[in-house]
A and B are shown apart, each in its own frame.
Chain A
């Protein structure tokens, strides 16, 4: 069964450093998403991406965050200057259609980001 692949599985970074989280969505999917889950909290929406541009973004997704699809397979989330409160599990997801109609979203296994 097709999977969404995320790397690395765990990243530790110093406060103020830049991090790039990587995702390979399912190959025939057109819509890509980043979500995050702070320990013990709900899974929260960050951003959706379609046709090489951001479709929607949440209030969390401020100027410190950016997304990119640098080639035909990768989808990245960059945090420019990490803060302690950015520590969370970051999930990438993809879907073949808008709103996941008939298929839902497929999530990756996540990248645990720890900012120290």
Chain B
């Protein structure tokens, strides 16, 4: 059974700081890994998708890496801004079953202080 863990659960940083959010998964046989952003009481916005054959993906100030062998992914946010404040979720794409294909971590709640 796939388990996805995100550390830390919460993070508070001053504006402008670079930061790293961590995601680990127990079953390395994933199909891909997706990072989402969730604002309070809102839906899930896809940020980045990394295929299992890729090592990283970049979008603007965001860079996500994937190391399947160690069961880890990181989301790097450069030059953080108050608008980046949200909960960031990672989700590992498995090969189906009763867990479904996409298994989520609990998220890291990021607060960027002006």
Contacts and interface: CB of A to CB of B under 8 A. Distances in A.
Interface residues of A, number: 32
Interface of A: 6, 33, 35, 41-46, 48, 55-59, 89, 91, 93, 98-110, 112
B105 A112 contact: no
B101 A43 contact: no
Contacts of B49: 100, 102-104
B44 A101 contact: no
B95 A43 contact: no
A89 B32 CA distance: 25
Nearest to A58: B98
Contact of B96 (A46, A56, A102): A56
Given A100-B101, A100-B102, 9 more contacts: A48-B96, A56-B101, A57-B98, A93-B102, A99-B96, A100-B32, A105-B102, A107-B43, A107-B45
